[in-house]
Structure formats: structure tokens, C-alpha cells
């Protein structure tokens, strides 16, 4: 059943009977005004609209517009009394799909058929277009989501679009880690002038760029969990666990690669430190055992020398030799005692005045400092009573003062400050050890500042590592590492600032220690012995 909407007399009985003759079953409704046409369109669907060339209340153009406005596809065919090429052109311009004259109504059936088909095609095309638009919007949204993710994740992500990896892009996190400019090329396979300012090592060896994870993946290999080390221009290094996968084109051929680089630098450092501290602990135990074994014969020899010294009638040169032997023995005793002390577990903590401790340490080194022309300035705005282990803290302050003196070499200043602070004002450091507990807990800040040359940036990171020293044979590189441990054991923390600016260079070590219980008004973190 063909549903025909007739504008004016276009679908009159004559036309209808011709269509029926052509084999159509149809139902015709007639409208003559704009309003009637609109209502008819809104009421039901129509298969075809037949229109006169001109009806006073509704032109072909208006009819076409109303159809378009409703996104209706029903074909609009003008059935006209008038003949002529211009009339047809005019009707088509006005928006009709076809033009049939009353003397050639045989054409009407096929025209309707064709236009209905066309309309179906148009509908289909529009549906496809809408689908694509939807798909596109969805795609854009997903790309935006992915982009946000890539920008956000704290993992290094690298992408290359070419199998030869001449250009590799990095996400912002990776750019920050590698300290390269945004959107720069991070590929070592790039032309020389575009190459990034770092080297990459695998198992400690520099390898040809072709063997790096991204390059391998871009050729079709999958790389999982490979350790790589990036050495930046300033000599600092970063370690990553790299995984990379191939990107394929529509024919399944490699067209690039994507890689993820997880920063494992700190993990590796921690591993390294742990190994060192284990080594150190066993060395300490060994030294303590040996020192203990030596102690007994040592005492016997000391006694023998004492008796010899008192023997009457000894020739003067022999007495001199005994005196030398006694002096050397004293040195040996001292070394043994220190070695024993190094390993000895601390007993219960005692109350200590930081200012007193400082004075003690300074008096110990006064001669050395004086002869080097180094001035020590003391400013104690607190006696800062804390609870802790005096021997260990003395070790911390000695090392800091000697480090400062070593750095200054000749004619400089060391400032020592002791003052009360609340923990709230203690600056947090990203990598520093964290203080747990009450943030309003009061404490003492101890500052050791020097006017030395400062510590170069590349050394700062390694300062607290065991065995890091710039003093060759003269230093063990354990001073700061041990100090850090002692301060942490006291529930405190240590911070360093340094500048190498000529004329304004120097280094400041600040130590925060919680006050003893009765002074601080809150309970300090208990200090565990032998921790
Ligand atoms: N005040 C300072 N000014 C300049 N460099 C410093 C200062 N303090 C420490 N350093 C640097 O830090 C390194 C490590 O210091 P640390 O006290 O751990 O070991 P060390 O002094 O070399 O050896 P040790 O303490 O066993 O004698 C030093 O070798 C030095 O390069
Ligand atoms: Mg030192």
C-alpha cells in the first residue's frame, strides 16, 4: 500500500487511477495549505509526496523546506500540467526530486519507485554518517582519556612511529626524569645533532642503539623487564625497568613501538645500601672479636712495661726504649678501645645538653682548628636537653666539624647554632627520613655551617651513601652515613644545603632532635637501644 500525500490536485483521481493501472495499491490524502501539510507530515509517514507545480497556499519550495526541516526522506515529485524544460528545471531547483507531466504519467510509477529507492539510500547514508560521527566522537574521547593517562602516570612512556626509531617521543614524566626539553627527541638512533644528552647502559655497558629496548621492539621483538641505566650529562644516573612492545600496521608489519620505563633508581640504591650495611655489620663484629682477643695480651705487655720502667739501674738508652714502647702501647690500647666501642651496643639513653656536647667536641679539635686559622662561632640559644647516647652524638658532631674544617682548608669560619624549634617548622624533605608522631613536639635545631667551597651537585645525592668520599685514602666515607643512622635512632633528622657560588659558597648541615620528655610537653618517640 503506497501512502500518497497530494499537494493540491497532483494526486487526483486521474493520476491515482493511472497508478493503480500500473499495479499500485494506494491511499491518497490531499492538502492545500502549509498548515495542513505540516500536520499531515507530523501525523504519519508518507511514501511519496506529489505536488502541483503551484498551489497558492504552499509552493514546492516551502514543501521541500518543511520536509528537510523534519529530516524526512519521502520523495517530492511535481506532477504538472505544464510542459517544458524550464518548468522542470525550476521545480528541481525548488527542491523537487522529479518532475512528471500529465501527458507522460507512464513515467510516474517508475519515478516513484526510483525515488523511494533513492530515499532509502539517502537514509542509509545518513545513518552511516551519524554512526561515523558518533564513532569519531567516541574515539576523540578515548584519545583524550589516553592522553591524560599518558601525561599523568609517574612512569616513563616512550613512543616511536618509525621502525628505525629515529624519533622517540616521551611523556611528561619521562621528560622530567631525563631532564630533557618538552617534545624533544629522546632517541639515540637520531641523527647526531638531534641526539639527547644522555647515554644508556645495559649491564653496565654502553651498547649500540640498535640493541636498546625501543629499537628492538620497533623491529618486532617484545622486550619485558630489561634493566637499563641512563647516565645524564652531569654524571647522575637513573635506573629503569623497561618493557616495550611492537606497534603493527594494518598489514601486520612493525611500524613503531611503545615502551614503559619504571624508575627503580631508589630501589636499587636501597638494595646497594643494604648490602653495604650488611658488609659493615660483619666487619664490625669481626673487628670487635679481634680487638677483644688482643685486649688481654695487651694488658699483660702494658704491665710488663710498667714493671720494667720501675726497675732500678736500667741504662738510660734502655729507659728511653721502654718509654717509646709504652707510648706506642698506649696508642694500640686506644685503637683497640675504639674498635671495641665501634661495635658495642649502646646502653640506656641519658639526658644530654647539646651545647655541652658541642663544647666538648670543639675543645678536642681546638688545636687543629687554630692551626688551620679556622674561626668557630658559637651561638647557643638553648641548652637543648635531649635524651640519647652521648658517645654517638659526639661522633656525629665531630664528623660534621671535621668535614667542615677539611672543606675550608685555611682561614674560614664555622658557625655552630643550637636553638629551640617546634617540629611543625622543620622543613619536610622529599627523600629525607620521615619523622613520625606528634607534629607539635618541640625539639632542638643544631646547625653546623661552614664557608667552604660547597658540595657540587653531582656529589649531593651520594653524600649519605656509605663509602662515598672525596678524600681518597684519608676518608672512609662512612662519616655522614653513620651520622644519619645515629640521628634517626634519636628520632631526629638531618638536612643539608650547600652552594658552590663563588664568593658565597658554603655548606649547612641542620639536625633536628626531639627534646627530652619533661621539656617538650609531649612524649617523645622512645629511643630504642641497639637499634
Ligand atoms: N662541609 C662540607 N663541605 C664540603 N664537602 C663536604 C662537607 N661535608 C661532607 N662533604 C663531602 O662529603 C663526603 C662524605 O663525607 P663523610 O663524612 O661521609 O666521609 P669523609 O669525611 O670523606 O670520610 P670520614 O668521615 O670517614 O673521614 C666528603 O668526602 C666530602 O666530599
Ligand atoms: Mg667525614
Domain locations in the chain as residue ranges: 2-126, 156-263, 269-343, 350-520
Please name the residue that has the C-alpha cell 686506644.
Answer: 334
Say what the pLDDT of residue 221 is: 94
**Closest residue CA from atom 26 of ligand 1:** 476
Which pairs from 435-441 meet CB under 8 Å and 24+ separation?
435/491, 435/492, 435/493, 435/512, 436/525, 437/491, 437/524, 437/525, 438/522, 438/523, 440/522, 441/514, 441/515, 441/520, 441/522, 441/524
Give CA–CA dist 16/80, Å, rounded.
14
State the pTM of this model: 0.44
- The third-level CATH classification (topology) of the domain covering 350-520 is Heat Shock Protein 90 (3.30.565)
**One pLDDT digit (tens) per residue for the chain, 531 residues:** 999 999 999 999 999 999 999 999 999 999 999 999 999 999 999 999 999 988 888 999 999 999 999 988 899 999 988 777 888 898 899 999 999 999 889 999 999 999 999 989 988 998 999 999 999 999 999 999 989 998 888 899 999 999 999 999 999 999 999 999 999 999 999 999 999 999 999 998 999 999 999 999 999 999 999 999 999 888 888 999 999 999 999 999 999 999 999 999 888 888 877 776 666 666 767 777 777 788 778 888 888 888 888 888 888 899 889 999 988 888 787 777 666 655 554 567 888 999 999 998 888 888 889 989 999 999 998 877 898 888 788 888 989 999 999 999 788 999 999 998 876 655 554 333 444 444 445 789 999 999 999 999 989 988 988 778 898 877 778 889 888 888 888 888 899 999 999 989 999 999 999 887 654 444 444 443 333
Q: Whose CA is nearest to atom 10 of ligand 1?
A: 403
User: Which of 469, 470, 483, 505 is the pocket-test mutation for ligand 1 (most atoms within 8 Å of CB)?
Assistant: 469
Say which residue the cell 698506649 belongs to: 330
Name which residue sits closest to atom 17 of ligand 1, judged by CA.
Answer: 479
Q: What dotted CATH number matches 269-343?
A: 1.10.287
Provide residues with CB under 6 Å of ligand 1. 399, 403-404, 407, 450, 452, 455, 463, 468-471, 475-481, 507
Which residues have CB atoms below 5 A from the ion given as ligand 2? 399, 403, 479
CA 159/CA 154 separation, integer angstroms = 16
State how far the alpha carbon of 521 is from the alpha carbons of 448, 493, 518, in Å. 27, 20, 6
What pLDDT does residue 516 have? Answer: 72
Q: Indicate which ligand has the atom closest to the C-alpha of 472.
A: 1
CATH of domain 156-263: 3.30.450.20
State the Cα torsion 188-194-199-202 to the nearest 10°: -10
**Ligand 1 pocket test: which of 283, 342, 402, 480 has the largest number of ligand atoms within 8 Å of its C-beta?**
480
3-state secondary structure (DSSP) of residue 72: coil
Spatial separation of the C-alpha atoms in residues 189 and 178, rounded to whole Å: 17
- Please identify which residue in the block is written with the cell numbers 650488611: 278
3-state secondary structure 154-197: CCEEEEECCCCCCCCEECHHHHHHHCCCCCCCCCCCCCHHHCCC
- d(CA 179, ligand 1 centre) in Å: 27
Which helix (H) or strand (E) segment holds residue 358: the answer is: helix 354-371
Nearest to 378 by CA among 394, 395, 363, 393: 363
Q: Print burial letters for 250-274: b (CB count within 10 Å at least 16), e (below 16).
A: eeeebbbbbbbbebbbeebeeeeee
Phi-psi region of 226 (alpha: psi -120 to 50; beta: other; left: phi over 0): beta
pLDDT of residue 342: 53
**Predicted pLDDT at 172:** 94
What pLDDT is attached to residue 280? 67
Report the DSSP beta bridge partners of residue 350: 388
Measured from the Cβ of residue 82, the count of other Cβ atoms closer than 10 Å reads 15
pLDDT the model gives residue 524:
40
Number of C-beta neighbours around residue 186 at 10 A: 24
Architecture of domain 2-126: 3-Layer(aba) Sandwich (3.40)
Q: What are phi and psi of 92, to 5 degrees?
A: -65, -40
Amino acid at each position: 500500500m503506497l501512502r500518497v500525500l497530494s499537494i493540491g490536485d497532483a494526486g487526483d483521481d486521474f493520476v491515482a487511477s493511472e497508478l493503480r493501472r500500473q499495479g499500485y495499491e494506494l491511499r491518497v490524502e490531499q492538502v492545500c495549505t502549509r498548515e495542513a501539510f505540516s500536520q499531515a507530515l507530523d501525523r504519519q509517514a508518507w511514501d511519496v509526496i506529489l505536488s502541483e507545480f503551484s498551489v497558492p497556499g504552499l509552493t514546492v519550495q516551502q514543501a521541500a523546506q518543511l520536509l528537510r526541516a523534519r529530516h524526512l526522506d519521502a520523495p517530492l515529485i511535481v506532477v504538472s500540467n505544464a510542459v517544458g524544460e524550464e518548468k522542470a528545471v525550476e521545480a528541481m531547483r525548488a527542491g523537487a526530486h522529479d518532475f512528471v507531466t500529465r501527458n507522460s504519467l507512464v513515467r510516474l510509477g517508475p519515478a516513484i519507485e526510483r525515488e523511494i529507492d533513492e530515499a532509502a539510500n539517502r537514509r542509509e547514508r545518513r545513518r552511516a554518517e551519524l554512526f561515523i560521527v558518533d564513532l569519531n566522537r567516541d574515539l576523540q574521547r578515548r584519545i583524550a582519556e589516553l592522553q591524560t593517562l599518558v601525561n599523568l602516570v609517574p612512569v616513563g612512556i616512550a613512543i616511536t612511529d618509525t621502525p628505525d626509531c629515529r624519533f622517540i617521543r616521551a611523556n611528561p614524566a619521562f621528560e622530567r626524569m631525563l631532564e630533557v626539553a618538552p617534545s624533544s627527541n629522546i632517541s639515540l638512533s637520531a641523527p647526531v645533532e638531534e641526539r639527547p644528552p644522555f647515554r644508556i647502559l645495559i649491564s653496565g655497558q654502553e651498547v649500540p642503539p640498535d640493541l636498546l629496548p625501543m629499537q628492538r621492539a620497533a623491529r618486532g621483538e617484545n622486550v619485558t623487564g630489561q634493566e637499563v641505566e641512563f647516565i645524564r650529562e652531569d654524571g647522575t644516573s637513573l635506573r629503569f625497568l623497561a618493557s616495550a612492545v611492537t606497534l603493527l600496521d594494518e598489514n601486520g608489519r612493525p611500524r613503531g613501538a611503545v615502551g614503559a620505563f619504571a624508575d627503580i633508581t631508589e630501589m636499587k640504591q636501597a638494595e646497594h645500601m643494604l648490602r653495604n650495611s650488611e658488609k659493615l655489620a660483619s666487619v664490625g663484629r669481626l673487628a670487635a672479636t679481634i680487638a677483644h682477643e688482643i685486649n688481654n695480651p695487651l694488658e699483660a705487655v702494658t704491665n710488663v712495661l710498667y714493671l720494667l720502667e720501675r726497675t732500678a739501674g736500667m741504662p738510660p738508652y734502655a729507659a728511653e726504649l721502654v718509654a717509646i714502647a709504652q707510648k706506642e702501647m698506649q696508642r694500640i690500647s686506644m685503637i683497640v678501645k675504639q674498635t671495641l666501642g665501634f661495635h658495642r651496643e649502646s646502653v640506656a639513653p641519658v639526658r644530654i645538653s647539646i651545647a655541652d656536647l658541642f663544647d666538648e667536641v670543639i675543645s678536642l679539635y681546638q688545636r687543629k682548628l687554630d692551626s688551620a686559622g679556622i674561626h668557630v662561632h658559637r651561638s647557643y640559644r638553648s641548652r637543648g636537653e635531649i635524651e640519647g647516647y652521648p658517645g654517638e652524638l659526639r661522633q656525629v658532631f665531630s664528623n660534621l666539624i671535621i668535614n667542615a674544617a677539611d672543606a675550608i682548608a685555611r682561614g674560614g669560619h664555622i658557625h655552630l647554632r643550637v636553638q629551640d624549634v617546634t617540629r611543625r617548622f622543620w622543613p619536610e624533605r622529599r627523600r629525607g627520613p620521615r619523622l613520625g608522631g606528634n607534629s607539635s613536639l618541640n625539639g632542638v635545631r643544631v646547625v653546623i655551617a661552614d664557608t667552604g667551597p660547597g658540595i657540587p651537585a653531582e656529589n649531593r645525592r651520594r653524600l649519605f651513601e656509605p663509602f662515598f668520599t672525596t678524600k681518597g685514602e684519608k676518608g672512609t666515607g662512612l662519616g655522614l652515613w653513620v651520622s644519619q643512622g645515629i640521628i634517626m635512632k634519636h628520632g631526629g633528622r638531618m638536612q643539608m644545603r650547600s652552594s658552590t657560588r663563588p664568593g658565597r659558597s658554603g655548606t649547612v648541615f641542620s639536625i633536628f632532635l626531639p627534646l627530652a620528655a619533661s621539656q617538650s610537653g609531649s612524649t617523645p618517640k622512645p629511643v630504642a637501644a641497639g637499634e
